[in-house]
Amino acid sequence: MYNCRFAVCAESVVIDISTNNVSIFNIVDAIAAVGFPIGINKLSAIFLLTREEVDPSTVDAIISVSMANEAISTHPYQIDFQGTLRNRCVVTAGGIVVPGPGILKFSLTINNAEIAAIDVTVSGPPPTLAAEAIPAPV
């Protein structure tokens, strides 16, 4: 059985080749938009996955971005544990268009089961005051 031990969304996720350390830059759990629709140029997600020894070392997955159960982006993704029981799956998405406020969901599905989901709250601008509600200077 495949499991997710950790999942986070950030502006950037980097795995250093020489040290194998992970750096996560600017964790994103909420986005405050000034208007809609908004475009997100780049957003990364990292999923720390584990498997049992009986599970295949290579597995097909689906990475999807959705809002209000409407798919914004869906892509097949092959996860290769390279013979180990742990894998760090890093995905970077670009050009995401968010149509309105709500929960932007990044999910990882393996064998038709959602293994992990990251929710990012997208809020709109604060309501503006109507011109008649502002008292005129005296």
Instruction: State residue 95's pLDDT score.
Output: 87
Q: Domain ranges for the chain, please list them.
A: 3-123
Backbone φ and ψ of 45, nearest 5°? -135, 145
Backbone φ and ψ of 133, nearest 5°? -80, -15
Best CATH choice for the domain 3-123 from the list 1.10.3720.10, 2.60.40.1930, 3.30.390.30, 3.40.50.2300: 2.60.40.1930
Instruction: State residue 14's pLDDT score.
Output: 95
Q: Over the stretch 72-91, which tens digit does the pLDDT of each residue have?
A: 999 999 999 999 999 999 99
pLDDT tier for residue 94 given thresholds of 50, 70 and 90: confident
Instruction: State residue 134's pLDDT score.
Output: 58
Model pTM score:
0.85
Mean per-residue pLDDT of the chain: 91
Instruction: Report the distance separating Cα 67 and Cα 101, nearest Å.
Output: 9
